[in-house]
Amino acid sequence: MALVNEHFLKLPGSYLFSDIAKRVNTFKITHPKQDIIRLGIGDVTRPLAPACVEAMHKAVEEMAHAETFRGYGPEQGYDFLIEAVIKNDYVPRGIHLANSEVFINDGAKSDTGNIGDILRHDNSVGVTDPIYPVYIDSNVMCGRAGVLEEATGRWSNVTYMPCTSENNFIPAIPDKRIDIVYLCYPNNPTGTTLTKAELKKWVDYALANDTLILFDAAYEAYIQETDVPHSIYEIKGAKKCAIEFRSFSKTAGFTGIRCGYTVVPKELTAATLEGDRIPLNRLWNRRQSTKFNGTSYITQRAAEAIYTPEGKKQIQATIQYYMDNARIMKEGLESTGLKVYGGVNAPYLWVKTPNGTSSWKFFDQLLYEANVVGTPGIGFGPSGEGYIRLTAFGERHDCIEAMRRIKQWI
């Protein structure tokens, strides 16, 4: 008989956002006349940039003619997009990459979850806490996370590095060696960042301890402050210890289009049990060639248009729209006396619940008394307890109305 992967059975009953959806649906059934404002899930609301739409129309037209039709594309991505990525996202920051070091994907979530395919199941793992759930869950699925300790909400083989208001959301460098460390900056869910000097400490730690950093930079386009690095490769030596993940989902509204990319430098290696050093670029290329058929040509042409002069202006206008939402929300929440973090270099606001209220209780209060949906902080890890995440990706009028309701409620 076929046997299941029993590691999947260790996972909590459902994904965080599925739990939220169930609670919201229950509310809608019992309060059918109430208008809900959703500021929980980080999905975008602004339409695609006209430059991207035009590029997609042109690509579709190409597919309608035999002489310009495209079938299977390269699993690694088309050179036209890879070259645009390198020229626009890295070269201006003094970072030089070869085409073969950039892998186009269908969004950062896929690659951050799948990168573990090329790493042994018994590597030790370290995460900042709170954290994007996919990092933990994907390690649970392959047996790398150990066993869930019910009393603490922590996995036995995972080292948690708390990020709270008490330490200004700056994770402490571990006092022991860890094989794999996940970093996400600007951070989801807290919206906080690391300065270049703080990120350098992590690169130095990784180089000294032969640690692999998995660096999720999905929100780098929202960075406003000059001392916050957009790429980990701005730090000397990072190519020897880090893989970087990027996404067009929030940068250019591609949540429904699906496109991003992963950078795996050729000088990055990991060891076998015998001590041989193996280039991870080679392994990831093999993995993608086997399990991934590539992102569609039409989608990649749309992504390429992001880097045109018109595309850059249009994308920047959308990013500014969301960041203006974040400012409006931050000011509104703070006027009620709530403690609010983030919202400066990222479209996320991390709100401290008042009077020691638990995350889920505050979620329910916000839903039932203000008809606003957030995301309970505990869903992102033990250190998220006592917080709730709100996103600035909504329509402007919804963000303004949500703040009015919260002010009236608080």
Per-residue pLDDT band for 17 (boundaries 50, 70, 90) equals confident
Binding annotation for pyridoxal 5'-phosphate:
72, 108-109, 132, 188, 219, 247-249, 258, 293
Predicted TM-score of the model (pTM) = 0.96
Q: What is the predicted pLDDT for the residue at 374?
A: 97
Asked if 230 and 186 touch (Cβ cutoff 8 Å), the reply is: no
CATH number at residue 247: 3.40.640.10
Query: Both 207 and 328 in a single domain?
Result: no
CATH number at residue 365: 3.90.1150.10
The fraction of the chain above a pLDDT of 70, given in percent, is 100
In sequence order, the β-bridge partners of residue 105 are 260
- Assign 387 to helix, strand or coil: strand
Domain count within the chain: 2
In a domain, 6, yes or no: no
Q: Which of the listed residues 277, 307, 337 is the one where a domain comes to its end?
A: 307
In a domain, 1, yes or no: no
Measured CA to CA in angstroms, residue 170 lies from 52, 76, 208, 217, 243 at distances of: 37, 35, 20, 16, 21
Q: What is the predicted pLDDT for the residue at 12?
A: 82
Q: Is the pLDDT of residue 42 over 90?
A: no
Query: Both 326 and 287 in a single domain?
Result: no
Comparing C-alpha atoms, which of 341, 348, 404, 335 is closest to residue 374?
348
Mean pLDDT of the 349-356 span? 97
The DSSP-derived string for 243-285 is EEEEESHHHHSTTTT--EEEE--TT-EEE-TT--EEEHHHHHH
Query: Both 319 and 292 in a single domain?
Result: no
Query: Quick one: which H or E segment has residue 334?
Result: helix 309-334
Per-residue pLDDT band for 15 (boundaries 50, 70, 90) equals confident
Binding annotation for substrate:
15, 42, 109, 132, 188, 293, 389
Query: Both 97 and 151 in a single domain?
Result: yes
Q: Which of the listed residues 255, 290, 307 is the one where a domain comes to its end?
A: 307
Query: Both 386 and 403 in a single domain?
Result: yes
Measured CA to CA in angstroms, residue 9 lies from 13, 112, 271, 320, 379 at distances of: 8, 21, 30, 42, 18
Query: pLDDT tens-digit profile of 312-322?
Result: 999 999 999 99
Query: Both 392 and 301 in a single domain?
Result: no
Q: Which of the listed residues 307, 327, 355 is the one where a domain comes to its end?
A: 307
Query: pLDDT tens-digit profile of 292-345?
Result: 999 999 999 999 999 999 999 999 999 999 999 999 999 999 999 999 999 999
Residues with Cβ < 8 Å from 193, sequence gap 6 or more?
A: 185, 186, 187, 223, 225, 228, 344, 345, 346
Rounded Cα distance, 152 and 381, in Å: 10
Q: What is the predicted pLDDT for the residue at 133?
A: 92
Mean pLDDT of the 166-184 span? 97
Rounded Cα distance, 253 and 255, in Å: 6
The fraction of the chain above a pLDDT of 90, given in percent, is 96
Query: Both 60 and 171 in a single domain?
Result: yes
Query: Both 107 and 233 in a single domain?
Result: yes
Q: Locate all alpha helices (DSSP H) within 190-255, ordered by sequence.
A: 196-209, 249-252
Rounded Cα distance, 97 and 86, in Å: 7
Q: Is the pLDDT of residue 410 over 90?
A: no
Rounded Cα distance, 311 and 282, in Å: 33
In a domain, 398, yes or no: yes
In a domain, 8, yes or no: no
Q: Which residue has the higher pLDDT, 297 or 19?
A: 297
Query: Both 122 and 222 in a single domain?
Result: yes
Binding annotation:
15, 42, 72, 108-109, 132, 188, 219, 247-249, 258, 293, 389
In sequence order, the β-bridge partners of residue 246 are 261
In a domain, 247, yes or no: yes
Rounded Cα distance, 199 and 171, in Å: 10
Query: Quick one: which H or E segment has residue 397?
Result: helix 396-409
Query: Both 202 and 79 in a single domain?
Result: yes
Query: Both 267 and 137 in a single domain?
Result: yes
Q: What is the predicted pLDDT for the residue at 32?
A: 94
Measured CA to CA in angstroms, residue 324 lies from 328, 329, 365, 373 at distances of: 6, 9, 26, 20
Domain assignment of residue 113, given as a range: 53-307
Query: Both 121 and 33 in a single domain?
Result: no
Which two three-digit tokens encode residue 87? 């020229």
